[in-house]
Amino acid sequence: MLEHACVRLVKELPEEQTSCLRAIKEQLRWFAGPQVRNVSSIGGDVCTGSPISDLNPLWIACGATFTVESLDRGARHIPAGQFFKGYRTCDMKPDEILTTIALPLNRRGEYVREFKQSHRREDDIAIVTSGMRARFDVVDGVATVSEVVLGYGGMSFKTVSCPKTQALLIGKPWNDDTLKLALASLAEDLPMAPDVPGGMCEFRRSLANSFFFKFYVDCSRRLEADGLVGNALAAAGLDAADVSAADRFHRPSPKGAQYFQIQEGKQVGQAVMHQAAEVQVTGEAEYCDDIAKPVGTLHGALVMSTVPHARLVKVDPSAALAMPGVHGYFGAADVPHNDTGPVVYDEEVFASEFVTCVGHQIGIVVAETQDIALEAARLVQVQYEELPALLSIDDAVAAGSYHEYPPFTDHTIEDGDVEAAMAACAAAGRVIEGEARCGGQEHFYLEPMANLVWCGDNDEVHTISSTQAPMKHQKLIAKALGLPCNKVVCKIKRVGGGFGGKETRAAFLNVCAAIPAFHLRKPVSLVLDRHVDMAITGARHAFLGKYKVGYSAEGKILALDMRLYNNAGNSLDLSGAIMDRALFHSDGAYKIPNIRVTGKCCKTHMPSNTAFRGFGGPQGVLFAEMWMDRVARRLNKAAEEVRELNLYEEGETCHFGQKMVSSQLKACWEQATGSASLAERRASVVAFNAAHKHKKRGIAATPVKFGISFTALFFNQAGALIHCYLDGTVLVTHGGVEMGQGLHTKMAQVCAQELGITTDKVYIAETSTDKVPNASPTAASSSSDLYGAAVVDACRQLNERLAPVKAKLGEEASKDFAAVCNAAYFSRVDLSAHGWYVTPNLEWEWDGTKGNPFNYFCFGAAVSEVEVDTLSGDINLLRTDIVMDVGDSINPALDVGQVEGGFVQGMGWVALEELIFGDKDHTWVKPGTLFTAGPGTYKIPTANDIPLEFNVTLLHNAPNPRAVASSKAVGEPPFLLANSVLFAIKDAVCEARMALGLGVDFDFNSPATPERVRMACAGPITKLFYKSDEVYRAKLTC
């Protein structure tokens, strides 16, 4: 209603009276989202007294008056500037309610503006928010300040104004000298300690001053536009290049195009709708926790460590066990075999003596409802003897703390003569060295971790789990309970997103649920709340890369020596294999004749990090692009020129010995840069930047080369089971898991193609360990290749058996598959087949020899252009053009979706999402605790963060002979195309720095949050709060 009232009054009243109303209307655009706004109230927002409220600074600035009323004492009228008393406390008695907000109308020469900067532009809480109002007297063409109010949120424990600055401005002319005085005074009005809650001290103080500068520009141009001061901009020391600093952001509707080929007359190659699309969009699709629970099901809640490293002194569950509805507490003593882990048994089902991270599971409470279980878990008393904690890569390196499990860790790949090549480059003065870092990333699957376990007779255990790897659940439950695997069955129909997070970390939770289920012989459900899921199940690994690069005068990379470190957390999990893939991809898409890369998995007291889309490849490739960008800037060349110079050629050999065969790398690069008109648009970017001081654009093109296969070679096998029924329908069961990517739909298309039927005749059954045993995880982008080939093999067997039947029926009758199946049945022909596939010609050992760890490579290229607000760090992604090599697509609709989704998820990693744990750089967070544990503090991209123009092309006429239906994998490779966004942002930042005469040869760490962008852009404002000449390095949990 407030928004509608503002819109109506702005239309009805004279413009000079509505500046406050327009500012409120504009601020409401960024106030949560429409769904939240439609169920919230202005009174609730005001009385909450949030220190980061979007509107409260505006109420103060506009001179609003709040009326509060009590039945006994009547009404009180309180100026907004006096209403907010402390952290979430207001000048209200317990029996008072807020009844009225009185807002004065404005006058001629009075201007109000709203400002807000958040991590994500829309549907996000503010980092800093502000409302400002100034009234001017104009005498002899000179504007002087007669009244001014500056309200700020996010700068203190409550919404504040700036009395010293406000008093200083009264009577001052609106000119550059006054601006300088105000900026200096604001720094005193808005002090902030380095360890302030929320962090980002220098950034927040810079934002406060940047907002005032924007207000200064806005008032100047409005004074001139309203005819009050003829040359207000010039009088303020501004010119046309300054004006855009005050522009409000308005996002137009995005547009885009998708280009792909259809294979006519085939079941494969068609843009078939995802088989579960309709039930998913209607909410009918059943996920693990939606399934009807067996009678008597109990609900579990974990008892977890609250400290990162300690000896367990005492665990007392007596208070929990005394609660009505609680059926038991189970800890380490209740587990027959307590050691566990997906690769090495370096974990425990429940901690027995030591806890090694916040969230480490100590035990589980089971009760009749989830609420009772959660309350009971909180009542379990745990006494700790706290021990020193390592909370970062730097901590681990300093302590020499690494996971060392040969042959899974401590690997090196070396090719050529690194020492000699580097020495020659150093003699020519062409060597760069640096340290690059990238943060982790939360999987943020929509469905949290969920497990349901029940027991049958003869010690049978059945479980339904939200997992990408049912076999791991079967194996680890059997181990923990001391049962044979043939008595444990794990099933899953569909997963609500996984992205690697449910490959291994779901299994230990299922084991936790299985313990009470087995002892009590009752079904147990364990479903994690979102904040618990995020806090304890691990994320993408943060990485540190220490590199040294030698290059030629034209930009050819001649030598690379790099050491990689990942923050593995408190157990190995898959960190060794993830580091291996990072080593394999440390060359990016570039031929480097002399290279040495080595990796260490850091052992820290953090939750164990795990697989995530790309599996270490994104980190290795990102670092390659970081040093490639620096080489280009050292040589004063366009980065795309240097990148293109170094791209792999057909037949060249990677540093691990695999040849580039049937490479589409150059084709993707040339088509992407050509269709994006890269050269012309770079010229346009240069022109734009010359005309704008405070908005800068950047553009970048980056390639992708991504190897497809599990680097653990034994995983490259797959099975499928096919049943043909007498009505001509077909049931397929395979070892892969459907988690939204469309795997089942593709398998149905492959099966239909091979059997000569239509896709609607094929149904894919749930994934189950008692149908297809020993299935590899649905991961590594390999599932379509593996299970598709297994389906083909099963269909081949069926076709061979049915060939004599079809010959006897004749060509016309054989077109009816039901008739074929009936004829086969009456001829006693087996209508069931088990298919099997093993990826051929893979060879790799970590013994210094070379080999072929991958079946083939996927290729791609992307061009992205961004616009950066150098005063706030706000980023607007203007356009992205992608060309992706997917071979002959089995389903172009699904593949385009994967390309777009992978790119946007990658964009989140490099430009938005940031995990913040309590560590030495974030002392305002409890040590080892995840601050960003939920959507309120952790921001993923939304539909409003996609490029304004988004063009995707699946490379045409590029069949892949090494996979089913000549297709290629598509799950992970597009993720890496988001590097183009990061380096477009860096390009814009460098433009801002060059305009100030600052250097551009620096490592730009990921993610490129508004803090990193704004502070890297530098300038007079940031100089007030960051005195060093070095490029600002925002604190990063790494």
116 labeled binding residue = yes
DSSP-assigned letter for residue 503: T
Residues 6+ apart with CB under 8 A from 776: 469, 471, 710, 715, 716, 717, 718, 735, 782, 786
225 is in an annotated binding site: no
Express the helix, strand and coil content of the chain in percent, nearest 5 each: 35, 25, 40
How far apart CA 781 and CA 503 sit, in angstroms, is 13
The DSSP-derived string for 279-326 is HHHTT----GGGSPPPTT-EEEEEEE-SSSSEEEEEEE-HHHHTSTTE
User: Which tokens is 355 given?
Assistant: 């806890």
In Å, the largest CA–CA distance within the chain is 107
Residue 547, strand partner residues: 434, 562
Q: What is the DSSP string of 708-742?
A: ES-SSGGG-EEEEEEEE-TTS-EEEEES---SSS-
C-beta of residue 853 within 8 angstroms of C-beta of residue 707: yes
Residue 665 vs residues 853, 955, 1016, 1037: alpha-carbon distances, Å: 19, 11, 33, 34
Q: Please check if 613 is assigned to a binding site.
A: yes
Structure tokens belonging to residue 440: 């982790």
- The whole-angstrom separation of Cα 298 and Cα 282 is 29
d(CA 488, CA 472) in angstroms, rounded, equals: 11
The answer to the question of whether 8 is labelled as a binding residue is no
Q: Which amino acid does the sequence have at 746?
A: K
Please check if 796 is assigned to a binding site. Answer: no
Distance of CA 308 to the CA centre of its chain: 25
- The tokens describing 982, both together, are 């990061």
Is residue 112 within 8 Å of 131, Cβ to Cβ?
yes
Distance from C-alpha of 54 to C-alpha of 124, rounded to nearest angstrom: 10
Distance CA 816, CA 727 (A): 10
Amino acid at 328: G
Q: Which of 972, 991, 1011, 1030 is catalytic?
A: 972
* Residues 710, 500: Cα–Cα separation, whole Å: 13
Check if the beta carbon of residue 658 is closer than 8 Å to that of residue 854.
Answer: yes
Q: Is 381 annotated as a binding residue?
A: no
Distance CA 831, CA 620 (A): 48
The end-to-end CA distance of the chain, in Å, is: 45
DSSP states of 476-499: HHHHHHT--GGGEEEEES--S--T
At 246, the amino acid letter reads A
Give the integer Cα–Cα distance in Å for 158 and 85. Answer: 7
Tokens of 755: 């059997």
Dist. CA 694–CA 992, nearest whole Å: 8
Q: Where does residue 216 fall: left (phi above 0), alpha (psi -120 to 50 degrees), or beta otherwise?
A: alpha
To the question of whether residue 468 is assigned a binding role by annotation, the answer is yes
* Residue 54 annotated as part of some ligand binding site: yes
540 is an annotated ligand-binding site residue: no
User: Binding site annotation covers 711?
Assistant: yes
Which residue matches tokens 């402390």? 86
Binding residue per annotation — 710? no
Q: Is 260 annotated as a binding residue?
A: no
Q: How far apart are CA 183 and CA 162, in angstroms?
A: 11
The stretches of 810-875 forming alpha helices (DSSP H) are: 817-826
Identify the three-state secondary structure at position 448. Answer: coil
Residue pair 304/362 in contact (Cβ under 8 Å)? The answer is yes
Grouping H, G, I as helix, E, B as strand and the rest as coil, residue 1019 is coil
d(CA 621, CA 707): 12
Is 972 annotated in the active site? yes
Tokens for 356, please give them: 């090694």
Count of alpha carbons within 13 Å of 377, Cβ hemisphere only? 26
Instruction: Please state the residue numbers annotated as binding site for FAD.
Output: 31, 54, 98, 116
Catalytic residues: 972
Instruction: Please state the residue numbers annotated as binding site.
Output: 31, 54, 98, 116, 468, 499, 503, 581, 613, 615, 711, 780
